Amino acid sequence: MAIQFILVLNRQGRSRLVKWFNNSYKPVEKNRLISDIHRLISSRDSKHQSNFIEYQQHKLVYRRYAGLFFIASINLGDNELSYLESLHFLVEILDVYFNEVCELDLVFNFYKLYAILDEIYLGGEIQEISKQKILNRLAEIDKLD
Amino acid sequence: MASLKSFIKAVRKAKTIADERSVVRKESASIRTSFRDPNLDQTTRRINISKLLYLYIMGEKTHFGQVECLKLLSSPRFADKRLGYLATMLLLDENQEVLTLLTNSLDNDMQHPNSFIVGLALCCLGNIASPELARDLYSNVDKIITTNNLYLKKKACLVAAKLIEKDPDLAEIFLPKVAQLIEDKHHSTLLGVTRLIQIIYEVDLESRPTLVKLIPKLIAHLKRIATSGYMPDYDVLGISDPFLQVSILKTLRMLAVDSACSSANLEQLNDVLTQVTSNIESSNTDAGSSSSGKNAGHSILYECVKTIFAIQSDQSLKILGVNLLGKFLSTKDNNIRYVALDALLTVISIEPMAVQRHRATIVGCLLDGDISIRRRALELTFAILNEQNIRLLVREVLLFLEACTDNDLKPYITSQLVIASNKYAPNDKWHFDTLIRMLKVSGNYVTMDILSNILALIMQCKDMELRKHVVGKVLSLSLENQQQQYQTTENGSFGLSLVTIWCLGEYGELIMGGNIEVNGKSVAVTEKLILKLIEDLLNNSNFTDSETVSLVTYILTTVLKLSVKFQDERSIEQLRLILSSKSYDNNIEIQIRAIEYQEIFASNEKLKKGLLAKMPAPPMKEREALSLHPKSAKKQQVSLSGSGSGSGSTTTTDDLLLDLMDDGPVPENSAAAADNNNYKPDSIANRNANILDLFDNPSQSNTSTSNPIIESSSSIPAFSSSLISVSFSPKSFKAGQAVVEAYIVAKSPGTHITQFQLLIAVPKSQKLSITSTSGDYLDASNSTIKQVLKIVGKEGAKIKLRVKVKYVANNETIEDTFDFAGFENTL
């Protein structure tokens, strides 16, 4: 499993998306982890610092888009650059799907956000890499609802 | 009941945290109540579960909704199913018992005619599969994986990989499918297949030769993608499908290091690596400026470099790899530089000279704005340090240390500096000057271990002029330090003070009567000056409690030693006063010492001279370089030597004793030494001898504490040789923690075994500590060695031990290694 979890946090540390692929975290641990990670990442300067931090036995790859931090935790041996690109891929999909995505879209449509995530990642691995296929798929599923 | 939207709005409207809590509590209570209604309709259930998910994202408790999720997903409506699966994946994980209720729904849905529903079920299984679910449902996945529906096929590949991860026995089920799947040209399927290959290779040794045969196929795919030109579906700013390229490269790397990989395959791989890198390099220069666009290309290059240095690659390819890293290092992009430093750390053991060439850039990164990069650069700097560049690099490291604000990092730097300069110092003078400068800039972050190392070095120094230089230098720095403290509120330098005090006591006569330079002015070293420094240090309140205790004990010894060096009656009287003032100290260690020293102080000159003579130089301990990098951190392995060191839980005094009694190399534990409050300024060798005297007859003292242990009936034999047998007895297994006792028994009672060591390694996911031992020898008086092991890990995991026993029998060192996994219980 490459990705342990994916988080989307806003600048105040509020979670907008929490997805755990690694099932070994306990509930209490999860909340502590999130606030820890927020503290760590929000204090970093995005211009002059890299987008990677070693955290416990894993590596955090993150990127800020406006007021939101998109964060993925990966294994130490994994390719950081590739997962950074993958987070960007996720954001691009969101941007097209929500037509210029903003934080409120994610707040009110969090269940859609999860559905999108499930089309891109599965069990902590990257599943689909064609934007068009994912967007078509999402449109079809929305019709079924 | 209100809609999801109005609930979210209500939460957002809350002005204070208390307001928000009350909204959340109210909603949570009403959801709970509604779930109790046996006639709850699916629409209301759906709304409630969606609210529950919102609570989940907020980090609230949601476990009470687990069964409701399962009810929702068993509904025939797609909208219900979709939300039901979504919620199940979030609110449940593989550790929940309700998961067994899911088996039937998953089984049905994976056979559903609607591919969307099959997709939902697959996705759910892939996210929360438990070993039980894996065993129950693998046949469904096995069927789907051969479908022509690409959407399901790619999912099935990843789910299969996940099931194998949960139950490695399933590898053989899916292995036959790989050969056919790899023929597929679709990118998403290939992405899934590479993952499947990786996991099968990892868990199933027997499959490896079969998988290695796939190398030509993977190379062909990689070549096709890398040279395909523009692919609208998979293009990332001019690079064709970087994700798949990275994944194929990773898989190839894994397979190509296998011994079954033929040289023809390696040659092919060498070719394709050259091709891929040159391809991206040329497109990178075309694409030009934007750094985000380069990221995708760099991710592939980075993976290529990793592969180049992992496999047996041509010399030319290795040069290409190092050059690529050099290019990475010279970019402005921090991410790229970070990965380059990371990669260089692995390259250094393979191509040390090539890494040396980038020395200037690496040193430059020490000044980077990003702490992650600075840390990497620091570690790399120590890695490339050698006889030729030590002067240059140590100067940079000292500058770094001076400017460093990260106090956690300093003990690492000081330890590494000491190790490196012990190893490569060009001459003794440089060596001492470096150590002294280090004490000056970072004296508060030097472990006790390192300090005693420095003292030992001074004792070993044969050159009297140099020794004089050292003593004079530390004294002048200490005096400067004291003066500075009056102006600033900076902390005193503990390490420097301690070394100075010790030097004065031991070698004070070398500099007394001479001159030293303090802040550019020449100052005469008089008895008064030394007394003033001692007084100042005694009154300095900037040290921590434990530092004060160590420093004062050192000062007392120095005071005593000076009493035979000073000439002036008044100064000697002052020394006596210092001793007597400390005989009322609150700390028992200081008090005892002060009173004992007073006795010596009062005894006749001749006796004193003999007692207070110079200490002989102690033998030096070999030190191993430390690592900052979690990747290269040593395996969880606890070594037991002597009477059981290594366990961090032992008390201070224990540590001290163990350290002294130890006759083999002790695992480097710099932290343990730091809290040795009762470190004595006497020579280490002396102490060794004294304390060993106490234990002169170790068999006696040990047998009184360790009653011969009768092997418990439940113990499981694990290993037996002609001399000894080892057995394990499980004591308690619960909640992710197991306590096991190991018994080592000699085969025949006459065998005399000494220096017994039991080294045990556990899988990376578990942690092992060895808490106690009953001795390290077997003879007529001690027939059994008992050790208590504690293993902590994930609940349900099987305990596997790799054990190495090492001992001396009949003057012969014997080593045996064996694996043990015979416990019935799991964690």
Q: What is the pTM of this model?
A: 0.69
Q: Is B84 left (phi over 0), alpha (psi -120 to 50) or beta?
A: alpha
> Which tokens sit at B42?
């699916």
CA-to-CA separations, B652 to B235, B412, B586, B655, B662, in angstroms, rounded? 61, 21, 19, 5, 15
Q: How far apart are CA B751 and CA B722, in angstroms?
A: 11
Count of helices and strands (H, E) across chain A: 5, 7
CA angle B476, B478, B482 (to 5 degrees): 115
* Mutation target vs B (from A85, A92, A93, A116; most B CBs, 10 A cutoff): A85
Please indicate if any CB of chain A lies within 8 Å of the CB of B257: no
3 state DSSP class of B639: coil
Per-residue model confidence as pLDDT tens digits over B95-109 = 778 888 899 999 999
Measured distance CA(B761)–CA(B641) in Å, rounded:
15
Instruction: Judge if ipTM > 0.90.
Output: yes
CA–CA–CA angle B758, B762, B766 (5° rounding): 135
Dist. CA B442–CA B289, nearest whole Å: 43
Q: Which residue of B has its CA nearest to A132?
A: B233
pLDDT at B643: 38
Please give the pLDDT value at position B220. 93
Q: What is the spatial distance between Cα B595 and Cα B444, in angstroms, rounded to a whole number?
A: 29
Count of residues making up chain A: 145
Helix (H) or strand (E) holding B524: strand B521-524
Say whether B339 and A127 touch across the interface (CB within 8 A). Answer: no
Residues of chain A with pLDDT under 70: 46
Mean pLDDT over residues B809-823, rounded? 79
The answer on pLDDT for B596 being more than 70 is yes
Q: Which residues of A touch B335 (CB under 8 A)?
A: 50-52, 80-81, 84
Does B492 score more than 70 pLDDT? no
Q: Is B447 exposed, middle or buried (0-12, 13-18, 19+ CB in 10 A)?
A: buried
Cα separation of A14 and B25, whole Å?
A: 18
Contact B528, B483 (CB under 8 A): no
Percent of chain B past pLDDT 90, that is, above it, reads 26
pLDDT band for position B491 (cuts 50, 70, 90): low
Which residue in B has a C-alpha nearest to residue A124's C-alpha? B127
CA atoms within 13 A on the CB side of B327: 15
* DSSP assigned state of B750: T
Task: Say if the Cβ atoms of B299 and A79 lie within 8 Å.
Answer: yes
Cα-to-chain-centroid distance, residue B56: 32
Within 95-114 of B, beta carbons closer than 8 Å to A belong to 95
Q: For B60-117, what is each residue's pLDDT tens digit?
A: 888 888 889 999 999 999 999 999 999 999 988 877 788 888 999 999 999 999 999 9
**What mean pLDDT is reported for chain B?**
81
State the best of B127, B196, B292 to mutate against chain A, taking most chain A CBs within 10 Å: B127
Residues A49, B334: C-beta atoms closer than 8 Å: yes
Give yes or no for residue B662 having a pLDDT over 50: no
**What pLDDT digit, counting tens, does each position of B397-408 carry?**
888 888 887 777
Query: Which residues make beta-bridge pairs with A53?
Result: A60
CB A6 within 8 A of CB A121: yes
Signed CA dihedral, A102, A104, A105, A110: sign only: positive
Sort out which chain B residues have CB atoms less than 8 A from A110's CB and list them. 53-54, 57
Q: How remote is the C-alpha of B572 from its chain's centroid?
A: 51
Q: Report H helices in chain A.
A: 27-42, 80-97, 103-108, 110-120, 131-144
A3 burial level (CB within 10 Å; 0-12, 13-18, 19+)? buried
Q: How many residues are given for chain B?
A: 827
Give the pLDDT score at A82: 93
How far apart CA B563 and CA B575 sit, in angstroms, is 7
